Structure 1
Amino acid sequence: MKKQLFKILARINKIVFPSFSKKGLDMSKAKKWQLAIIGWRYFTTKNSL
Structure 2
Amino acid sequence: MKKQLFRTLAKLNKTILPSYTKRGLDLSKASKLQMAIFGWKLYVTKKALD
User: TM > 0.5 between the two?
Assistant: yes
State the TM-score bracket (shorter-chain normalisation): over 0.9
Gaps of 5+ in 2: none
**Aligned-pair RMSD on alpha carbons?**
0.3
Gaps of 5+ in 1: none
Distance, in Å, in 2 between the alignment partners of 1:43 and 1:24 is 20
Using the size of structure 2 for normalisation, the TM-score is: 0.96
What number of residue pairs does the alignment pair up? Answer: 49
Moved over 3 A (4+): none
Using the size of structure 1 for normalisation, the TM-score is: 0.98
Percentage of matched positions with identical amino acids: 57
Paired residue for 2:30?
30
Higher helix share: 2
Distance, in Å, in 2 between the alignment partners of 1:24 and 1:45 is 19
Q: Specify the SS of the correspondent of 1:21.
A: helix
